[in-house]
Amino acid sequence: MNLDLFPEPPAPRPAWSFSPGAVLLGGFALDAATALLDAMHAVIEQAPLRHMVTPGGRRLGVALSNCGPLGWISDHRGYRYGALDPVSGHAWPSMPRCFAELATRAAAAAGYDSFVPDACLINRYQPGTRLTLHQDKNERDFNQPIVSVSLGMPALFQFGGTERSDPAQRIPLAHGDVAVWGGPSRLNYHGIAPLKERPHAVLGAVRYNLTLRRAG
Ligand code: MD6
Ligand code: FE
């Protein structure tokens, strides 16, 4: 019998490699999720989530913010990293220690030693939000991996090859999952399929993604 006082723990999902140099660590962030969310909410109180504009004039469906010494920015001039929040004119909020520690541990678990992030993008998705296929190539050193933490509603990660037209795998991402990728997959195209409305028990109809990078 399963009394409510002792709910079944989620079935462990092992780590698996979905492409050379790319590893999905199932549930790796579950133990830290409450601390990560508290810290994230403190960051977005200082640097609110906003819809940036692409160089082509399109409004991004994902709402985003940043913390750490560098933040990712999109505007009519292009995509880049910058030290200042263009909305406030102030430095981005500092990176919470629990973000950096989790990123270093996850990178090591995926085979990337001594990863120290200097930028964290915070992305918010709502039902229907998608992220079209793109490459992450605004960082200086492509030898550094990226650590990506999923919180809240589940999503389908589309993961292609180095050409936009390459076929894409579809990888389910759940609350607490951490994807680490680098090496031969570092410049592969990827995106998020339009989010279905499958509310998370605690967060509701929202998904947050933290991507931790070495940008500078
Ligand atoms: C997301 N992630 O999971 C979007 N990029 O919401 C990304 O675009 C991404 O997860 C580089 C590496 C890992 C990622
Ligand atoms: Fe990306």
Q: Which ligand is nearest to the CA of 135?
A: 2
Share of the chain above pLDDT 70, in %: 96
pLDDT (0 to 100) of residue 10: 66
* pLDDT class of 140 with cuts at 50, 70, 90: very high
DSSP 200: B
The answer to whether residue 1 scores a pLDDT higher than 60 is no
Nearest alpha carbon to residue 147 among 102, 203, 199: 102
DSSP string, 109-162: HTT-TT---SEEEEEEE-TT--EEEE----SS-TTS-EEEEEEES-EEEEE--S
pLDDT (0 to 100) of residue 11: 72
Nearest alpha carbon, ligand 1 atom 14: 148
What residues does 196 pair with on adjacent strands?
Answer: none
pLDDT (0 to 100) of residue 2: 52
Nearest alpha carbon, ligand 1 atom 12: 146
Integer Cα distance of 17 and 9 in angstroms: 24
DSSP string, 45-106: HHS--B--B-TTSPBPSSEEEEESSBEEEEETTEEEEESB-TTTSSBPPPPPHHHHHHHHHH
The answer to whether residue 216 scores a pLDDT higher than 90 is yes
Provide mean pLDDT across the span 86-115: 98
pLDDT (0 to 100) of residue 3: 55
* pLDDT class of 13 with cuts at 50, 70, 90: confident
How many C-beta atoms lie closer than 10 Å to residue 132's C-beta?
13
Quick one: which H or E segment has residue 168?
Answer: none
The answer to whether residue 14 scores a pLDDT higher than 90 is no
Q: Which ligand is nearest to the CA of 19?
A: 1
Q: Which mutation among 19, 65, 134, 157 tests ligand 1's pocket best, with the greatest number of atoms within 8 A of CB?
A: 157
pLDDT (0 to 100) of residue 23: 97
- The Å distance, Cα 47 to ligand 1 centre, comes to 20
Query: How does pLDDT run across 156-177, given as a tens digit for each residue?
Result: 999 999 999 999 999 999 999 9
* pLDDT class of 4 with cuts at 50, 70, 90: low
AA letter at 83: A
Provide mean pLDDT across the span 105-132: 98
Query: How does pLDDT run across 47-63, given as a tens digit for each residue?
Result: 999 999 999 999 999 99
Mean pLDDT value across the chain: 95
